[in-house]
Amino acid sequence: MADDTAGSGTVAGKEMERLGDMDAEAFRRHGHALVDWIADYLNRTERYPVLSKNPPGAVRDALPPSPPEKGVPFDAIFRDFERVILPGVTHWNHPGFFAYFAISGAAAGVLAEFLSAALNVQAMLWRTSPAATELEEVTLGWLRQLLGLPDTFEGVIYDTASISSLHALAAARHRAVAGVRTRGLAGRPDVGPLRVYASEQAHSSIDKAIMTLGLGHDALSHVPADDEFRMRPEALREAIAADRAGGVTPLAVVATVGTTSTTSVDPVGPIADICADEGIWLHVDAAYAGVAALVPETRGVLAGCDRADSFVVNPHKWLFTPFDLSAFYCRHMDTLRDAFSLTPDYLQTLEAVEVRNLMDTGVQLGRRFRSLKLWAILRHFGSEGIRDRLAEHMRLARLFAAWVDESRDFERLAPVPFSVVCFRALPAGAAAAPGRAGTDGGASTAGGAADAAVDAAADTLNERLIEAVNATGEVFLSHTRLDGRFTIRLAVGHVRTEERHVRRAWELLDEKLRALR
């Protein structure tokens, strides 16, 4: 570790009272230096390789195995942050980050997080910080308006979409299974097998929620998708009918708006019809794509979602809000409160008027003041600023998709409804067949022996291609599998990503492909 840590027990004393915290002057000095560092970081993230070049264990091995006995000044900690920690960081706040779903910790949100850390509010009860409870209500009301969702949707902030969906399914379970709160599920002959339906493209968080809720992974029914990766409503109807005939109780349907692999959109309207007919809870997972409803040309993306029982969208995904912040909306928040509210004596409050206590809407007691950063983002960019940025990301994705479509060396493997492009390079000699990926949508599943041979060669080629491109440190792309084929994904979503970054990704793909072939 840094040289000044050894035998420096008195050094820290210079910026700290013996039994207190850092003194104000020291805080001011370190704080100013830190803000300068962050300002440079946000403006010049590109000087760092986007994907960490560290081998496994590098950070761990550079740190002492046991904690220090004597304190050190913050300078020493910061030097080690730069020397040891930073090389082990993959820079999500980098405009060349195109992997998974690109996210942004935009500057206004970073500043709000700094304030939130300073306040250190724990908003379990209204009185433990009225502002945190009420700002959460106001910002989620704003977001709901921006998305065009009805005001019958009550909102609450969780950390992630995984936890939002867990709560959605917990509420569905509470509604469907009498006495589940008290008697649980185990050893109950009156409760037969239960089922949750989601498309085969749904996010793994749904699987985990089902496991967590004691339903067992087998309770998840993967409904087949069409050739554009959208849930087939007829298949859903058939699966429900077959289950009912076999004595299985349908618990909930999860529709996805913006699936993780291809950003496909399940037909929520027809799915909502089925749920209404059958009396089944409908949860919509719009973690990534929900915000596209702000943009005129994709305004229809949430059609039918007003009929959902619950809905999740992640401002930490494509709304520039620093990780983590997931917005959960529910038309029956009282069902969730019935499932979870439990007030020990020491948390009983005596407010004269009725107030909302956020601890009642879920599993966790303590909650951070997350709405502060969402408030800062919504105000700092304004709806117009957000809309323009999202539209630009979609333009960049379409531009990239056009390059793929025009190229003889690459082919596109899925439609591009938002800001994610799924594609792959073709082995030498295997020309892109226009029939396999239509320009305006169709990813064909046409197979055949010749295609199988191309696919095997393409898998190896694309695995090596993505490794070579990521090793440059200039961009970071990730992959998925579509119809069994290794597929490269380019996800545009960082607030500082410009056309030149997308162009550079394309140049690198082209350059590395030539080298590999």
Q: Using CB under 6 A, list all residues that contact ligand PLP.
A: 101, 160-162, 203, 205, 256, 258, 260, 285, 287-288, 314, 326
Name the residue nearer to ligand PLP (CB basis): 161 or 194: 161
| 379 token code pair | 């105000």
Angle made by CA atoms 141, 112, 372, in degrees to the nearest 5? 25
Name the residue nearer to ligand PLP (CB basis): 128 or 314: 314
Name the residue nearer to ligand PLP (CB basis): 410 or 476: 476
| 392 token code pair | 């630009």
DSSP lists the bridge partners of residue 491 as 420
CB neighbours of 114 closer than 8 A, spacing ≥ 6? none
- 159: enclosing H helix or E strand: none
Closest CA relative to residue 79, chosen from 65, 93, 57, 62: 62
**Nearest-angstrom CA–CA distance, 74 and 51:** 27
Name the residue nearer to ligand PLP (CB basis): 204 or 348: 204
Least distance (Å) between residue 289 CB and ligand PLP: 8
Number of CB atoms found within 10 A of residue 324's CB: 19
Name the residue nearer to ligand PLP (CB basis): 319 or 454: 319
CB neighbours of 395 closer than 8 A, spacing ≥ 6? none
CB neighbours of 73 closer than 8 A, spacing ≥ 6? 4, 11, 12, 14, 15, 26
Least distance (Å) between residue 21 CB and ligand PLP: 33
Amino acid at position 104, single letter: S
**Nearest-angstrom CA–CA distance, 113 and 64:** 29
Cβ atoms of 240 and 288 closer than 8 Å: no
Cβ atoms of 416 and 398 closer than 8 Å: yes
Least distance (Å) between residue 321 CB and ligand PLP: 12
| 321 token code pair | 């809000």
Name the residue nearer to ligand PLP (CB basis): 73 or 493: 493
Least distance (Å) between residue 314 CB and ligand PLP: 5
Q: At 215, is the secondary structure helix, strand, or coil?
A: coil
Least distance (Å) between residue 292 CB and ligand PLP: 12
Least distance (Å) between residue 257 CB and ligand PLP: 8
Least distance (Å) between residue 468 CB and ligand PLP: 27
Compute and round to an integer the Cα radius of gyration of the chain: 25
- Report CA-CA distances (Å) from 288 to 229, 353, 420: 16, 37, 11
Least distance (Å) between residue 224 CB and ligand PLP: 18
Name the residue nearer to ligand PLP (CB basis): 177 or 308: 308
478-482 and 410-412: which strand pairing? unpaired
Please, how many CA atoms are within 13 Å of residue 169, restricted to the half-sphere of its CB? 30
Name the residue nearer to ligand PLP (CB basis): 133 or 259: 259
**Nearest-angstrom CA–CA distance, 379 and 204:** 33
Least distance (Å) between residue 202 CB and ligand PLP: 7
Least distance (Å) between residue 488 CB and ligand PLP: 18
Least distance (Å) between residue 7 CB and ligand PLP: 44
Cβ atoms of 288 and 233 closer than 8 Å: no
Name the residue nearer to ligand PLP (CB basis): 287 or 458: 287
Q: At 130, is the secondary structure helix, strand, or coil?
A: helix
**Nearest-angstrom CA–CA distance, 499 and 392:** 9
Q: At 241, is the secondary structure helix, strand, or coil?
A: helix
